[in-house]
């Protein structure tokens, strides 16, 4: 029963690197905003408190105050991460900087215009009683992850490099989004998970685990979730890009500063959030995600770090995650931030 519960929780909480789920009805511009541009923002999974800043920015009028009235759209079950934005059906999407770099390697003109997460959420999670106490201890063990794609896969590459290991030193099992059940039942020795997802849900379920960071010190050579648009759209609509970025960042500040308000607003967007059990899980997730939205100093800052993007370009090319090294310079811009 516990394994089944964990599997269900895993299916409803993951944000990054996952297969999107059935959307709710998209939002519509608020009253008095008919004259404002209404770009569509793709939120790449089911409604969840991890998107609270967007819900808050819409409900509180942060977007309209900045000069835009975007439509929030959750992706469909079979939809690719960048399918809609590259087809012109969305003008923005929330996605990992590393995922963007892979897409640029394949010829897309995607560009990150603001940071959503300030730190990378991936970590290695093991049972509390495990003999694995360091990344080097992973040698010879079985590691579960959804598949060899997305941020779980990228993060594992960082962890193995940190430990001086390669994929041939471990057994990688593609287990779909069943990491929690797989670890709890001993199917795998470790999982690749997220600090604001699997780690939170294990704690809520009373399952004792330990988390290992994927680097020993310094920054992860990957860029986490960003606000993404296309270079063509940004060049043609700079004011809209600035407005959407400003609204998103205002929403993050409110969510971090007033989580009670964020929970109240999110209840109008996330089905079933008013239930007591859902509230407990959502609040724990919100608390964990707040650490990803803020800098080490606890501030909200959407600026993207050029050195981190350069390190990511080098790492992804060296690990074969991109066929060639992607020039990071046109992949991001801070020009649309106040």
Residue 72, both tokens: 């929030």
> In the predicted model, is pLDDT for residue 220 greater than 80?
yes
What are residue 127's DSSP bridge partners?
A: 209
pLDDT in tens, 41-56: 999 888 999 999 999 9
Structural domain contains residue 250: yes
Strand order in the sheet with 225-230: 71-74, 40-43, 92-96, 225-230, 110-115
What is the residue range of 164's domain?
122-213
Structural domain contains residue 261: yes
Domain identity same for 64 and 135: no
pLDDT in tens, 263-282: 999 999 999 998 988 999 99
Structural domain contains residue 337: no
Domain identity same for 251 and 321: yes
Mean pLDDT of the chain: 90
The label of the residue with tokens 């960042």 reads 249
pLDDT computed for residue 44 by the predictor? 84
pLDDT bin (cut points 50, 70, 90) of residue 33 is low
Least confident of 19-23, 186-190, 212-216: 19-23
Domain identity same for 240 and 322: yes
Provide the CATH number for the domain around residue 53: 3.40.190.10
> In the predicted model, is pLDDT for residue 17 greater than 90?
no
Domain identity same for 142 and 55: no
pLDDT computed for residue 15 by the predictor? 40
pLDDT computed for residue 34 by the predictor? 64
Structural domain contains residue 338: no
pLDDT computed for residue 45 by the predictor? 81
Domain boundary among 213, 246, 270: 213
Domain identity same for 141 and 233: no
Domain identity same for 140 and 80: no
Share of the chain above pLDDT 70, in %: 90
Domain boundary among 172, 195, 213: 213
pLDDT in tens, 63-79: 999 999 999 999 977 78
Domain boundary among 173, 193, 213: 213
Q: How many domains does the chain have?
A: 2
Domain identity same for 61 and 30: yes
Name the residue with higher pLDDT: 121 or 23: 121
């Amino acid at each position: 029963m516990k394994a089944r519960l964990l599997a269900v929780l895993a299916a409803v909480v993951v944000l990054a690197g996952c297969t999107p789920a059935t959307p709710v009805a998209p939002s519509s511009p608020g009253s008095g905003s008919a004259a404002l541009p209404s770009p569509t923002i793709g939120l790449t999974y089911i409604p969840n408190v991890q998107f609270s800043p967007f819900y808050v920015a819409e409900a509180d009028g942060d977007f309209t105050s900045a000069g835009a009235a975007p439509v929030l759209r959750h992706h469909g079950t079979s939809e690719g991460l960048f399918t809609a934005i590259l087809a012109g059906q969305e003008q923005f999407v929330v996605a990992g900087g590393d995922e963007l770099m892979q897409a640029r390697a394949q010829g897309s003109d995607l560009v990150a215009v603001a940071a959503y997460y300030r730190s990378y959420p991936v970590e290695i999670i093991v049972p509390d009683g495990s003999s694995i106490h360091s990344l080097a201890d992973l040698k010879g063990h079985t590691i579960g992850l959804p598949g060899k794609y997305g941020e779980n896969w990228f993060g594992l590459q960082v962890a193995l490099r940190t430990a001086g290991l390669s994929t041939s030193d471990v057994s990688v099992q593609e287990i779909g989004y069943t990491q929690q059940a797989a670890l709890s039942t001993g199917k795998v020795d470790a999982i690749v998970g997220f600090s604001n997802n699997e780690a939170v849900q294990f704690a809520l379920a009373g399952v004792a685990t330990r988390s290992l960071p994927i680097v020993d010190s310094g920054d992860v050579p990957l860029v986490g979730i960003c606000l993404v648009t296309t270079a063509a759209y940004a060049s043609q609509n700079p004011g809209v890009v600035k407005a959407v970025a400003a609204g998103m960042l205002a929403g993050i500040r409110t969510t971090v500063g007033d989580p009670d308000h964020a929970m109240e607003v999110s209840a109008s967007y996330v089905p079933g959030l008013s239930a007591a059990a859902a509230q407990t899980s959502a609040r724990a997730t919100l608390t964990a995600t707040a650490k990803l939205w803020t800098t080490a100093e606890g501030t909200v800052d959407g600026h993207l770090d050029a050195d981190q993007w350069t390190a990511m370009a080098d790492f992804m090319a060296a690990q074969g995650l991109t066929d060639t090294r992607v020039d990071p310079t046109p992949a991001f811009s801070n020009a649309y931030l106040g």
